[in-house]
Amino acid sequence: MSEVLVALAGSPNVGKSTLFNRITGGDVHVANWPGVTLQRAEGRTEHHGVVLRIVDLPGTYSLSAQDIGERIAREFIVEEKPDVIVIVVDATSLEKSLYFAVMALELYQKAVIALNMMDAAEKRGIHIDIEGLESKLGVPVVPVSALKGIGLGVLLDRILDVAQGRMRILPLKVDYNGLEPFIHEVERLLRERGILKKYPCRWAAVRLLEGDEVLLDELSKEDPELAGKVRSIRERARIELGEDPERIAISSRYSLIDEIVSSTVTRVRLAAPTLTEKLDQLMLHPVTGPISSVLLILFTFFLIFAVNTGFPLNILFDHMGYTELAALIEEYSLSGILGSFFDWLSSAISDWLTPMGYADWLVGLISDGIIGSIGTLASFIPLLLMAYVFLGAMQDSGLFPRAAVSLDNLFRRFGLSGRAFFPAALGMGCSVAAVVSTRAMDDDRERMVTSMASPLIPCQARLLVLLALASAAFTNPLEQSALTVSVYLLSFVLYLLTSKLLNKFLFKVEYAPDLVMELPPYHRPSLRVIWWYARSNTEHFVKKAGLLIFVLGVVTWFLLNFGPTGYLSQGDISKSYAAILGNLLTPVTSLIGLPDWKYALAFEVGFVAKEGLLITFSSITGAADPVEALRSMGITPLKAVSMALAMNYYVPCLATVAALFSELRIGKYVLLTVAIEIALALLLAGTAYWVGILMGFS
Amino acid sequence: MDGNLLPLIALRPGQRGRIITMNVGRGKARRLMELGLLPGEVVEVISNSLGPVVLRVRGMTLALGRNVASRVWVEVIP
């Protein structure tokens, strides 16, 4: 069967991912673009017996190769020479989204324009002359609604028409006015020398005059003399025209767009105040904006907590006297269901293997070590999925950019922009998700600072440990919640302060990056898109970090079950390698008032995954309920406070360290992140403990 | 005409202005121009209080940090 390579391109917020998801039906493979952590999604579909391989290019406002996304999109088009590029534009705001289309058509002519959100445009009284637009742009234009799945068959027809050469395509020519003679001059030079041949000649000439660094570098390498000539032509143009050639070029493209829009778009009536305007009065207000942003995040996390762990509904009902209901909620929360499933699986396998005469240690390895690690990995999945569903919904609905705007003012004081709120909010779900989400930032320093600071925010796993500590050491529910809430508040403060210090001492820059961000109109999030986004990101994580978590889980099992005397069949954990390792760390844990090797061991296991702390307490004491386990270890309120602080900050979990490494790509910074956390844990827990001792607690 | 040349941060919500000049670095200028913030273009301020200035240009809503917004000079349209 013949195959056609299609590249999907367009600006952010034009519905490109919705269209991608619609066309491919979710049959998508996610990987990274070579050399960067930016995600590359590829899917396929079949139409009239032809396979269409569709690559989703990064959403960018331009193709100037100014940032990673633009560079990747441009390189893909030039190097891979796709059979067709589908340029997605927003029918409700052609004035803006045609800019990318014009840039793309100048570079590559085998294109089809997907005029998305056509239904919304018609509703707002915007009529577009499709044939007029086709003749102006020189390529087929297909009105579609990605959200509703309208027009996709025609779009695929046109894609095949262009790919198979059944369509006459006319080159788009932008009139660059005063710049034209200079463009011809550069074009002639490029032709004479036969240089930069993979680019359209006129396009290359315009870009060189605009001062495209990537292209100038390429030219300097091939022909330094010509590069010098081009630079002097550009200088001459600037002097003769009295204006920056770059500005002339951008204005000329916008003039063409204005001309196209005025001849093809008719607005029947002015829209009444839209939902967007009304909501923006709330979201962008100096007082209600930040409050509603925070409330929104809290509400969503309340939902995630409740579905994943039953918290806080279980505690609420417990205190109201409905103990059975609370237990039921906990049992049927996602982590409860997964937990019981893997417990069942583990004992079923053990029951099945034991009579077959296998050695005890092998049965233990398979049923506890391997199944247990898969269970740990599986417990991550709902947390990640939920966190990504949240991220997707916030982005897709248009709320995320507003929250960033309303909190910008607070974050500036710490050398961050409003965008930094997002990793912090996501970190309440999972630090891995938080670290990965920083790649959406366009300021490189802010991206690195926030990914290093976001693991300070307590994730769901740490919440579980925190709740167990609070319930074990305090009887008064008020004291229990006071401990939990203070750790959260402290963590947010530390997130901001750590960012400030990293800015100051590591990056030596203190000013906050400037926010320049489009605020797309609000709309009801598309469940399809959110689900696809959440699923593909989670899959990507499981593939990347999964093996690591699995291997370390098995290693921990070995350490807990083997000692210098061999396999510890009776589970006498104090003779295990793990206990020996735990004892190595006790000099450090003594500093924070926890001299017992059991705490030290729990910290070691908790590095793999923070819920490992609770699992360790349970396996050491033999009490299934971690609260009981902690009580039997003689936990006191003071020890609980010290433990809570230490546990939250002592080190990001293994999966987070792996994510940090893949995002930062600088080992030194990952080590620094770990060092900062260890220092914070010792400082905070140590201070809390020794101040407590001085005040007469024990 | 010079009398009503103001930086964007000086405009009240609802006020409109024509962009005259942008006093920002080259990379940032390119980014702003590609988003449609070109000299000659008319912008309408939607909100301007403590945080970023929110404005409409070419049918798009854009948030600009106060630092950038103080470097974009407009001629106020009465």
Q: What value of ipTM does the predicted structure carry?
A: 0.92
Q: Answer whether residue B63 is part of any domain.
A: yes
- Give the CB-side neighbour count of residue A575, counting CA atoms within 13 A: 11
A516/B61 CB distance under 8 A? no
d(CA B13, CA B1): 21
Enter the tokens of residue A86.
Answer: 């589908």
Closest-CA distance of chain B to residue A271, Å = 13
Q: Which residues of chain B lie closer than 8 angstroms to A61, CB-CB?
A: 31, 34-35
Nearest to B9 by CA among B61, B63, B72, B78: B72
Interface test with A, best of B47, B56, B66 (most A CBs within 10 A): B47
More confident position, A685 or A430? A685
Closest-CA distance of chain A to residue B62, Å = 4
Phi, psi of A84 (to 5 degrees): -150, 140
Closest-CA distance of chain A to residue B65, Å = 5
What average pLDDT does range A346-350 have in this prediction?
A: 85
Percent of chain A whose pLDDT exceeds 70: 91
A99/B64 CB distance under 8 A? no
A409/B51 CB distance under 8 A? yes
Residue of B nearest to A511 (CA): B67
A99/B34 CB distance under 8 A? yes
- CB-closest option in B60, B64, B67 to A96: B60
Buried b (16+ CB within 10 A) or exposed e, A639-661: bbbbbbbbbbbbbbbbbbbbbbb
Three-state SS annotation for chain B: CHHHEEEHHHCCCCCEEEEEEECCCHHHHHHHHHCCCCCCCEEEEEECCCCCEEEEECCEEEEECHHHHCCEEEEEEC
Interface test with B, best of A99, A100, A412, A514 (most B CBs within 10 A): A514
> Is residue A673 predicted with pLDDT exceeding 70?
yes
Enter the tokens of residue A415.
Answer: 């050398």
Nearest to A207 by CA among A88, A66, A7, A83: A66
> Is residue A312 predicted with pLDDT exceeding 70?
no
More confident position, A272 or A260? A260
Closest-CA distance of chain A to residue B41, Å = 10
B51/A286 CB distance under 8 A? yes
Q: Which residues of chain B lie closer than 8 angstroms to A62, CB-CB?
A: 34
> Is residue A277 predicted with pLDDT exceeding 90?
no
Interface test with A, best of B33, B64, B72 (most A CBs within 10 A): B33
Interface test with B, best of A68, A515, A522, A523 (most B CBs within 10 A): A515
Enter the tokens of residue B1.
Answer: 């005409």
Residues 6+ apart with CB under 8 A from A148: A119
A246/B32 CB distance under 8 A? no
The CATH 1.10.287.1770 domain(s) of chain A lie at 177-265
Pick the CATH number of A3-163 from 3.40.50.300, 3.40.718.10, 3.30.70.980, 3.10.580.10: 3.40.50.300
Q: Answer whether residue B77 is part of any domain.
A: no
What average pLDDT does range A398-422 have in this prediction?
A: 87
Is the full-model pTM beyond 0.80? no
Closest-CA distance of chain A to residue B12, Å = 13
Q: Quick count: other Cβ atoms within 10 Å of Cβ A155?
A: 24
CA dist A620 → A42, A136, A285, A574, A609 (Å): 47, 75, 54, 8, 17
Looking at residue A545, its pLDDT comes to 62
- CB-closest option in A62, A251, A405 to B63: A405
More confident position, A571 or A517? A517
Q: What is the mean pLDDT of chain A?
A: 85
Q: Answer whether residue B47 is part of any domain.
A: yes
Closest-CA distance of chain B to residue A614, Å = 43
**Which range is most confident: A227-231, A506-510, A537-541?**
A227-231
Residue of A nearest to B59 (CA): A93
Total domain count, chain B = 1
**8 Å CB contact between B69 and B29:** no
> Is residue A539 predicted with pLDDT exceeding 90?
no
Buried b (16+ CB within 10 A) or exposed e, A176-203: beebeebbebbbebbeeeebbeebbbbb
B32/A516 CB distance under 8 A? yes
CA dist A178 → A91, A181, B39 (Å): 31, 7, 17
A284/B68 CB distance under 8 A? no
Q: What is the CA radius of gyration of chain B?
A: 11
> Is residue A682 predicted with pLDDT exceeding 70?
yes
A66/B63 CB distance under 8 A? no
CATH of the domain at B16: 2.30.30.90
**Domain enclosing residue B57, as ranges:** 2-72
pLDDT digits (tens, 9 = 90+) for A440-463: 677 889 999 999 999 999 987 788
Q: Annotate A145-195 with DSSP letters as a single string.
A: BTTTTBSHHHHHHHHHHHHTT-S---------GGGHHHHHHHHHHHHHHT-
Q: How confident is the model at residue A366 (pLDDT cuts 50, 70, 90)?
A: confident
The CATH 3.40.50.300 domain(s) of chain A lie at 3-163
- DSSP letter at A456 equals G
Three-state SS annotation for A100-119: HHHHHHHHCCCEEEEEECHH
Looking at residue A195, its pLDDT comes to 87
- CB-closest option in A247, A417, A513 to B33: A247
A250/B34 CB distance under 8 A? yes
- CB-closest option in B51, B60, B64 to A93: B60
Q: Answer whether residue B52 is part of any domain.
A: yes
Q: A177-265 architecture in CATH?
A: Orthogonal Bundle (1.10)
**8 Å CB contact between A326 and A309:** no
Enter the tokens of residue A603.
Answer: 């910290």
- Report how many Cβ contacts below 8 Å link chain A to chain B: 111
**How is chain A split among helix, strand and coil, in percent rounded to 5?**
65, 10, 25
Closest-CA distance of chain A to residue B13, Å = 11
Q: Answer whether residue B64 is part of any domain.
A: yes
Q: Quick count: other Cβ atoms within 10 Å of Cβ A414?
A: 21
Looking at residue A468, its pLDDT comes to 83
- CB-closest option in B30, B50, B62 to A286: B50
- A265-274, A338-347, A400-409, A468-477: which range is least confident on average? A265-274
B65/A521 CB distance under 8 A? no
pLDDT digits (tens, 9 = 90+) for A26-76: 677 766 666 555 667 889 999 999 999 999 998 889 998 777 788 889 999
Q: How confident is the model at residue B62 (pLDDT cuts 50, 70, 90)?
A: very high
Q: Answer whether residue B78 is part of any domain.
A: no
Give the sign of the dihedral formed by CA A380, CA A386, CA A387, CA A388.
positive
